[in-house]
Structure 1
Amino acid sequence: MLRKTLMSMLFVFCGFAATAEQVVIAALGDSLTQGYGLPEQDGFVPQLDRWLKEQGADVNLINAGVSGDTTAGGAARVAWTLTPDVDGLIVSLGGNDLLRGIDPAVARANIEAIVKTAAESDVDVLLVGLQAPGNYGADYKTAFDAIYPDLAELYQTGYAPSFFTGLSAENDPEAVRTFMQPDGIHPNAEGVARIVENLGPLVLDLVAVAGQ
């Protein structure tokens, strides 16, 4: 990243040897990120943090998940989430927009604002997608589902098609229930572990890029 390159040049100029710094990644999201309904150690961020460290990543993962948050909430707080020490940002928002039937154009504008703010702060992004259910109609689903791949391509961010990919290799809705809490919305500890196994390699890519 530019700011780290400049810092390294400054250290060399001043006669000091530059050393590698721990990569700081903030996970901006809602209850899925925050770890709703689970003991702290079983939530998404703690499990992902352990997985990354098991892979040898020197990373500090920050839980910036707020239960109930919409894309608007994420856009409102992204600026103060991106403190100067943050190198990378995982963006996983949109589920509460779906629950409220928020216009996909509004959700898109909010997520784009988040990605733009990260770009302006020289922070690399992994954008985690979400697919709308069919009960809002085909037009709504098409518009909402396109938000994430479109913005990832436009801003050249990392991209994961879905937070829930990996819960069922057979894409069997009945099998997925095994990995969910009783509310049918939030994953249980085993479900989170499967999510982490799926998203982990993409987060490792983010750590590698953000640490440059």
Structure 2
Amino acid sequence: MKSSTLKPYSVPLLLCQLSLLLLSACGPSASTNDSANRPGASAEDASTSGKPLTGPQSPEAADTLILALGDSLYAGYNLDRGEGFPEELQNALVADGMNVFVVNAGVSGDTSAAGRQRLDYALEGLPRNPDLVVLGLGGNDMLRGIEPEQTRANLDAMLKTLSDRKIKVVLTGMLAAPNLGPEYADAFNPIFPDLAKQYDAALYPFFLDGVVTDSELMLEDGIHPNAEGVDLVVEKIAPVVTGALAE
């Protein structure tokens, strides 16, 4: 199992930013600007402005197929077309010489339970099994105070499904906001490294590492990354994805 090492950050600022997460869930409803590169989506689902998608324009045209399954942090919340995490991840991987298509299966407001319910649908909507699933859910569970045991059970079930299908996984983690208290954090934070180890999945410990502490990389809501923030997230996660595919 490979993991990414988080660089030191300003703890007080990080705690302050994470506290703000309690004021609002990660996109309680889908934004009209959520990226549209997802199963069953059409070009009308997102703004026509923004950055073009490089490389294959459909799953069928790609040698490597990746499914990015997550919440608003994946969906491209309030970003222009092509600026969301899945699209920028594809652009970065294509720039590295890969013929890859990344399907955006991010849905704003999704909990781990909702993701678990639609996992089979997302997989069945693809022309074939993906070579890799980048999985990022659980943030909304934390924001809503859902018991960590439920989050763990849902992610466990999803990872088991992917393991049974012999699909590689990169798990992107989340940290509990400090306002929830140390007991909640002690139960929630280990979910991601524990499950990554159990299922031999690659782990990126904290999706917003190096971004949430910099207001210039965040939208005005203080919760979601802006286009520049997404670029930094992709810069740090892309090598983890490349490593997972190479195993």
**TM class by smaller structure:** 0.7 to 0.9
In 2, Cα distance between equivalents of 1:78 and 1:85: 12
- Tell me if the contact between 2:211 and 2:218 (Cα under 8 Å) persists in the aligned partners: no
Aligned twin of 2:100: 59
Aligned twin of 1:11: none
Aligned twin of 1:191: 229
Counterpart mapping for 1:1-212 below 5 A: 22-83=63-124, 84-167=128-211, 173=213, 176-209=214-247
User: Is the helix fraction higher in 1 or 2?
Assistant: 1
TM-score normalized with structure 2 length: 0.72
- Using the aligned pairs only, state the percent identity: 43
Q: Which has the larger radius of gyration?
A: 1
In 1, Cα distance between equivalents of 2:64 and 2:84: 21
Unpaired runs of 5+ in structure 1? 1-20
- Tell me if the contact between 1:30 and 1:66 (Cα under 8 Å) persists in the aligned partners: yes
TM-aligned CA deviation for residue 166 of structure 1: 3.2
- Tell me if the contact between 1:29 and 1:69 (Cα under 8 Å) persists in the aligned partners: yes
Say what the alpha-carbon RMSD is for the aligned residues.
Answer: 1.3
* Superposed CA offset, 1:89-135 (max 9, x none): 00001111111111000000001111001011111111111100111
TM-aligned CA deviation for residue 80 of structure 1: 2.0
Amino acid across the alignment from 2:163: A
In 1, Cα distance between equivalents of 2:83 and 2:191: 29
TM-aligned CA deviation for residue 141 of structure 1: 0.4
Q: What is the aligned length? A: 183
TM-aligned CA deviation for residue 88 of structure 1: 1.1
In 1, Cα distance between equivalents of 2:206 and 2:221: 19
- Tell me if the contact between 1:128 and 1:160 (Cα under 8 Å) persists in the aligned partners: yes
